[in-house]
Copies of this chain bind each other. A is one copy, B any other.
Amino acid sequence: MRVPMENELEQLKTRLTEIHDLQSAAAVLDWDQATYMPSGGAESRGRQLATLARIAHERSVDDALGKLLETLSPLTSTPTNTSTDASLVRMARRDYERATKIPPAFTSRLYDHMSKSYNAWTEARPANDFARMQPILEKTLDLSREMASFFPATGHIADPLIDASDPGMSATSVRALFTELRRELVPLVEAIASSKQIDDTCLQGNFPEAVQLAFGEKVVRQLGYDFTRGRQDKTHHPFMTRFALGDVRITTRVNEKDLGDALFGTIHESGHAMYEQGTAKVLDGLPIGQGASAGVHESQSRLWENLVGRSLAFWTHFYPALQEAFPSFRTVPLKTFYAAINKVERSLVRVDADEVTYNLHVMIRFDLELEMLEGKLAVRDLPEAWRARYKADLGVSSPDDKNGVLQDVHWYSSPIGGTFQGYTIGNIFAAQAFASAIKAQPSIPSDIAAGNFAPLRGWLTEHLYKHGRCYLPEEVMKLATGAPLHIAPYMNYLRTKYSELYNLG
């Protein structure tokens, strides 16, 4: 049988692949900028990236693309049509509708402002100078509100911003989730804080860079990150980037005094990368050939970093190799090391936080950005509000803004709203997906202890990775685990693991 509208589908794919090629080229230029570019290249690189972005955007809002999508929309009209083509048309329409709502002149203004803001922040943060950022952040807030205004009014001004990273989520649904999680997390954190604390001094020492890099690569190769379709390079702020199904790269940074930075960072990025490397080949080069959302993506980096990489089963297998590579561990028992890498501590800096307190950092940011967007919190009062929330939620308070309100790049490099919730959604869904995998294949924990990661990776690929962005996050979550996003598996995971680690009653 002839495929309906075969000709139009081909035209659509040609157009979308061209846009994807321009975006992939920009991703290569970004990667180069973050890894190897000499300092002299910065000025022109900014212009080259802006040119690629502008041309990709022009083609993304082309009327002819809109007409093609219109013609092809019957493909998506039957709810049972789950073919790749139907998914493609559905997601491409979403993208087109979003892109055409934002005026190009606004995008230029925003791009200009955010690039100035980022440059100012790189100086203001080390100088602990929030006063310098205040007027800039006020303008960012105005632009963020303006951005939201291009979308039809829904329940909350932040909704279109949240939807951009985590489609289908809203201020209301995230708040409900976070309230529930917070209710359970806070007593757990308190119980841990009043228990005997873990000694993690074994993680400090002198760990040569080359040995750390080699060990990290050995680990993630065994997890299943495919180096014939990827590579690892050094950078300041580690990230994963996909140029194509056959070229998904990770980056890392090394701290010779602290073993955990590079190791868990590398496992984290390889989690993102295995997700991309596991998407179906037929999706490559199309807007559905990528992870489903920020939250679902983060669930996979977290799953491999925490649920696998910080588990006793994992280290049962890898600890001898670690002891071989780093002699100082030869006198440290496995259980001591395992406890050290899972130490919980109420601290000031999100990126250094353990997996239990991490979400409290995220919730503070999420709540504060909603308050700013709602007009309830002025930018000038932000540092004080930040300190108050840290005191209340984590019992700590930063003496400076550098490790306070200036610590994250997000508000200083992109619009306010929509960038933080994905981290916690990721933590929650990681546990949900992991529980489903183990339920389907109960041998997974013992496979991990034996250094065999293929069963877990295979299950994730089959139930989650291969779908790419064919479905909305909530659909993909349900497809993979049979249930919508819920916190029970996550709290169950945390309680079991940390009750044992901290001898909780």
Query: A residues within 8 Å of B by Cβ?
Result: 17-18, 21-22, 24-26, 28-29, 32, 36-45, 47-48, 51-52, 55, 226-231, 233, 243-247, 249, 284-285
Contact = CB atoms under 8 A, between A and B. Distances in A.
Contacts of A243: 41, 44-45, 48
A51 B233 contact: no
Contacts of A231: 36, 38
Nearest to A37: B247
A233 B36 contact: yes
A226 B140 CA distance: 38
Contact of A43 (B44, B230, B246): B246
Nearest to A43: B246
Contacts of A44: 24, 243-247, 284-285
A250 to B, nearest CB: 12
Nearest to A44: B244
Contacts of A284: 44
B40 A29 contact: no
A26 B18 CA distance: 14
Contacts of A25: 25-26, 28-29, 48, 51-52
Nearest to A31: B32
Contacts of A42: 246
B45 A244 contact: yes
A44 B249 CA distance: 14
10 contacts: A24-B44, A25-B48, A28-B32, A32-B32, A38-B229, A38-B247, A40-B229, A45-B247, A48-B243, A48-B244
Contacts of A22: 51-52, 55
Nearest to A25: B25
Given A25-B48, A51-B18, A52-B21, A43 B244 contact: yes
Contacts of A285: 44, 47
A65 to B, nearest CB: 16
A246 B41 CA distance: 5
Contacts of A45: 243-244, 247
Given A21-B52, A25-B26, A47-B285, 17 more contacts: A21-B47, A21-B51, A24-B44, A25-B25, A25-B28, A25-B52, A28-B48, A38-B227, A38-B229, A39-B228, A40-B246, A41-B246, A41-B247, A42-B246, A43-B246, A45-B243, A48-B244
